[in-house]
Amino acid sequence: MSSLHELVQAVRDSKGVAHKKDIAIGMNALASVQPCQSSTLVGDDCAVLKSADGSYLLFAIEGFMNEFVQDDPWFAGYCGVMVNVSDIAAMGGRATAVVDAVWTSDSVQLKQILQGMAVASARYGVPIVGGHTNARNDRSQLAVSIIGTANKVLSSFEAKPGDVLMSVIDLRGQYRGAGNNWNASTEAPAERLRGDLELLALVAESGLSVACKDISMAGPLGTLLMMLECSGYGAEIVPEAFPRPEDVSLERWMQTFPSFGFVFSVAPAQVEKMKQLFNSRDLLCKEVGQVVEGSKVWLKDDAERELLWDFSETPLLGCEQLNKANDVEGEAYACGSV
């Protein structure tokens, strides 16, 4: 069995991709009750509301798996801020504030979760301005919501055939625990964390890219699948081209949440400028593939080519069908976070 074939099976069967499939359930369940406004599309990392002055209000939320919150409550709280800040950055925005909803079975875990949130809040410079707490539940649960602003928006819907797919990942970290959480944040200088995230707003405002998504628990390939499905195109991707630590296997890295990691669709003329921008802060930004016409996403290396996904046969998020069903046209802004 070929290595690419094994990688395809691992990504398809991964928990991260499976969780993304559940998004389609929510989309379809809410579409008939609360359809999106006529100028919005479903599927981006944040909801986007246009302001009277031409800027944009960004709104997102993240919920966390109960076992993660139970096993590592401090880091779960820290991630509550960190991953939401990444969602705002992926849309070309700057975070403003977060609120939380925390349920635990005792006060000890409640304090640990909130202490993790407090540390991340201080390091990223994003205040916690309210929330809900309960230490009398039968288990630990956490959800965190965020608002931010953007002058120009990056979207999952703007990838075009001929664009170069690029990825930037902060490799200055290590795995936390036995799972696939790459921690490049808790030990990094706070000023560096904030400055690195500011690059995403600069990408949007300078027009270096218009299509972006932050790498989620679905890993680099699963995240690219979501962006490509939203845009309505296929791709040819070279997994070995992604920035990756030397001592981490390709199969594990393609299922890893990297703390700071993004994928972009970039016009060829802007590729070198993208590299220069991120390399200026010691962040490795590399070309990983190309957007193509059609519905198929292929993985390839020097000797092989394997089909990863065909959206015409197997939708992932189902956003294209839902947007068509709601007769949505116009600007590609989401009314729900993924």
**pLDDT tens for each residue of 52-62:** 888 999 999 99
Question: If DSSP codes are grouped into helix, strand and coil, which group holds residue 313?
Answer: coil
The whole-angstrom separation of Cα 119 and Cα 193 is 13
Asked whether 133 and 78 are in contact (CB, 8 A), the reply is no
Sign of the torsion formed by the C-alpha atoms of 187, 192, 198 and 200? negative
Report yes or no on whether pTM surpasses 0.85.
yes
**pLDDT tens for each residue of 188-236:** 999 999 999 999 999 999 999 999 999 999 999 999 999 999 999 999 9
Asked whether 163 and 232 are in contact (CB, 8 A), the reply is no
Residue the block writes with tokens 């504030």: 97
Helix (H) or strand (E) holding 251: helix 250-253
* pLDDT of the residue at 16: 78
* pLDDT of the residue at 330: 42
Asked whether 116 and 76 are in contact (CB, 8 A), the reply is yes
**pLDDT tens for each residue of 123-156:** 999 999 999 999 999 999 999 999 999 999 999 9
Q: How confident is the model at residue 302 (pLDDT cuts 50, 70, 90)?
A: confident
* Cα separation of the two ends of the chain: 33
| HEC string for 190-211 | HHHHHHHHHHHHHHHHHCCCCE
Question: If DSSP codes are grouped into helix, strand and coil, which group holds residue 165?
Answer: strand
The residues that bridge with 174 in the sheet, in sequence order, are 183
Give Cα separations from 85 to 213, 236, 244 (angstroms): 13, 29, 22
**pLDDT tens for each residue of 61-101:** 999 999 999 999 999 999 999 999 999 999 999 999 999 99
